[in-house]
Every structure is written in C-alpha cells, then in structure tokens.
Amino acid sequence: MKRFQIWTDFTAAPSANEQMTIIHIVKDRTARIPTPSVYRGEPLFQGPDAPAYDNLMACVKCGLCLSVCPTYATDAVEIQSPRGRVQLMLAVEQGQIPLADPVVEHLYHCLDCRACETVCPSEVRVGEQVLLMRGLAEGERPRHWLARLILEQLMTHPERLELAAWPLRLYQWLGIQWLVRKSGVLRLLPKALQSMERLLPTLPRTPLRRALPEVTPAVGARSYRVGFFLGCVMSLVFAKTSARTVRVLAENGCEVVLPKAQKCCGAPHAGEGDIATLKHLARHNVDLFAGYELDYIVADCAACSAQTKEYAQLLDDDPAYAERARAFAAKVRDVTEFLAEIPLREPAAEVRRKVTYHEACHLCHVQGITQEPRRVLGVIPGVELAEMREASWCCGSAGIYNLTHVERADQILDRKLDNIASTGADTVATANPGCLLQLMAGVRERGMAVDVVHPVDLLAESYGADRA
C-alpha cells in the first residue's frame, strides 16, 4: 500500500475569507493542489451532526495551539497541529478536497485531548469538530467488522461486555499471561496486540455492576441522594476503585444509587465517529436515570462525566429528549468535582506518600476541572503534592489511540514518564481509567517504583473505607 502523508503549508496570514491554504498530498512525489483565494458559497456539510463551519472559520492561525498539541510536539508538522486540522476540515467543507482517504486517516491522528481548546483565544472547538467530521466520514463507508462488533454489539450491552472479559480472566488465572510476558513471544505479535496485552492489569473476579448493591445507604445522616454512573472500564477493570468511590460517597452523607440497567456513556463511540449509537446510548441513560429522584449523578471516570455532561448538546435537536437531557446533564459531576463542592468529612488516617497529579484530558480540557482534584488530595493527611511539568498534557491513551497509533502514543507516554520521574514522587494520581492503564504499563515497563492510583483510592485509604 502506498503511504500517504498530509500537511498544510501557510503563507502570509490571510483574512478569514481568504483561505490561502495549499494542501500537499504526498504519494511517491509531492502534488500541489491550489485552492481558491476567496470562497463564496455554503459549506458542504450542514445540520446538527456536521462540524460548525462558523466555528472553524473563527481560527485566526495565531499558533497558540502549537505549544500544547502532543502530536505537533512529536511530529513538528503543521498538519499535526490543531490549526492545520482546522484548515484541512475547511478544505473539505469548501469542496476543495474529498472526505476520503487519506484525509479520513489523518482525522484519526488527532488525540482529541482538547488542549488546543483550552488555550484558543477564538474558542475554536477543534476536538469537537474533528469528532463530527469523523462521524460524517464513517457514515459514508462501511465500518470495519471488528469495530462494529465492539461498538455496536458489546459496548451497548453490559452483560455481553462482561462475558467477553472472561477469556482475559482465564488468560491471567491459568498463568498464560506470565508465560507470554516471560517468554518474549509477545514481540512476535502485531504492535496493536502487543499494546493491548501490555495495558492489561490484573482483572477483578466480578464486575462491580454485579457485585455492588443497587442502593448503598449513607453513613450517618443522609445529605444527598446520588446516582452512580459506573463506567465500563471501571466496572470491568477497576472495580475496587469504584467500590471505594461508593464508600467515600457514603462516608460523606450520600445515599448511592446504582441503576443496574445503565449502559456505556458513549465516549468510545464518539471517538470513532459512531454518532447514531452515541445518541441511542444517551437516550437510554437519560430515560433510566430519570426514573430515580436524584440530587446528583456522579462518575469516577473522567470520560464518562465529560460525555454525559455533553448529552444536553448532543440531544438538543431532539424535541422528545432536549429538556430531559439538559436536566440529566445539569446533575452530572465528576467525583473529584463533587467532593470538592460539598462539605467534605475530614479524613483522619495519614497516607504518607509523595503524590504527583496527572490531569486527564477529559477532566481538565473538556470539563475545565483542574483545582478540584488537587483540593481533594490536599485534605488527605500525610500526602505531599509535587506538581509535574506539563501535568495537563495527554499521556497517549486517548481512548484507543494507544492501540491504533502505537508508536506516537509511546512517544507521548515517554514524555509524560520523564515528567513524572522528575518530581521524585512515589505515587501518581489520575482520574480516568485510560490514563490509569497507560501510566501503569509505562511505569512497569520502565521499572519505575511508582504506584498509579485514582485520587479516590488515597482518600478511601485515609477514611479507612477500603472494604471492597
């Protein structure tokens, strides 16, 4: 297969109406495709599920996004920057290039970390527009059978997803994982499979959705009735952490309700451009949680809290769900956000650790939650918080990016591990399961004596609430 490479070359800064962009597509040799100096007409794609053309046009090419973009930092190529992606999408919208390979391939090079959105003075929502453009692209071509299996058949049915995890448990319990890692046979597998195996931690015996009661009473007087949004990966992989989350909430006067029929938040589907399934899941969860009288809906997975907060925008054009989705989203809180918002019961036991905090992209850039997790860590006796450089930079997990773009994800992870090591911390805390998996694999393979935990793990330890 011929290898494609795309980038954008900017000349003198043009006005918003004069997109002086030259798209280079390299296939054996450079082919230059000139674009009109002035575009007059309507964008090619319109509607609620299309990229917001006016928002893309708001990019003034100032370059602030270059300083925070992980893919630009690794490649130093303009098209791997947010403003380069904006110009690529504009070229598609203006009919100058087709929405086909290799353009579609390039759309998946973006981590969707949203760091560019945090610094953009023009409020260009680059990550959001990239996801919408992916959705348009996926609607024009048949989805790979494996992607259909995972997104449509497994992740939409929790019981099927739990059943699919059993071969992995047997792989660990029978000692096959130990043999594979010790023998070196892993190096013979494709890189994506190598990456999947290295990310696999020790799995719990029972998914938390099955082990946890539907209602956990508050310890002492009840102050809040809280719905717990249990993430797929948290239930299957980090069941102990989520059980601690429930205990910490109960310790702080929350009656915790776990609707057992809840489904995936839809974040994996959003990342892969499966907007139809995302909306189906959103409607299901909105209907389900509406049947409970809840003060808040709390998630300990940053991707889940980010995606469920976006249900209001996602279903805004649906007259049957718009109002209910807004009511649902208004109640959603990330667990660190919620704990920083309420009067927190003072933990007593010392947790003598030097902790550095990695900011999950879905938490800091999508939700704007940065200080709340630090405040939670700061109330734990004995915890010394050591800030790392580039704490808000992506670790390279980014959904399934570390499976689809292994080499670049490893480069991004190496940069993160260097920053962790420079703090001298013995523990790194982060609030998203993808980050937990990525960092756990990274510190293990580098031989770093560093624990990787969720902030709730440390708070539960101080409360003495670790009864999972």
Asked which of 32-41, 81-90, 222-231, 238-247 is least confident by mean pLDDT, the reply is 32-41
Q: Answer yes or no: is 217 within a domain.
A: no
Which tokens go with 28? Answer: 């054996």
Locate the DSSP E strands across 241-378: 254-257, 296-299, 332-334, 353-357
- Mean pLDDT for the chain? 88
Q: Which domain holds residue 67?
A: 5-139
Q: What is the 3-class SS of 37-55, one letter each residue?
A: CCCCCCCCCCCCCCCCHHH
Q: Answer yes or no: is 120 within a domain.
A: yes
Read off the pTM: 0.88
Residue 413: closest CA among 451, 371, 445: 445
Write the pLDDT tens digit of every residue in 76-92: 999 999 999 999 999 99
Say how far apart CA 311 and CA 302 lie, in whole Å: 15
Q: Answer yes or no: is 95 within a domain.
A: yes
**For the chain, how many structural domains are there in total?**
2
Write the pLDDT tens digit of every residue in 259-298: 999 999 999 999 888 899 999 999 999 999 999 999 999 9
Q: Answer yes or no: is 430 within a domain.
A: yes
In the predicted structure, residue 8 carries a pLDDT above the cut 70: no
Across the range 51-56, mean pLDDT stands at: 94
Amino acid at 81: S
Say how far apart CA 210 and CA 1 lie, in whole Å: 46
Say how far apart CA 231 and CA 434 lie, in whole Å: 11
Q: pLDDT-derived band of residue 350, with 50, 70 and 90 as boundaries? A: very high
Which tokens go with 132? Answer: 């919408």
pLDDT of residue 400: 86
- Could you tell me what percent of the chain has a pLDDT over 70? 90
Q: Answer yes or no: is 33 within a domain.
A: yes
Say how far apart CA 18 and CA 169 lie, in whole Å: 57
Domain end (from 84, 115, 139): 139
Domain end (from 117, 139, 161): 139
Cα Rg, the chain, nearest whole Å:
23
57 and 90 in contact (C-beta within 8 Å)?
yes
pLDDT of residue 4: 33
Across the range 398-405, mean pLDDT stands at: 88
Amino acid at 275: I
pLDDT of residue 16: 35
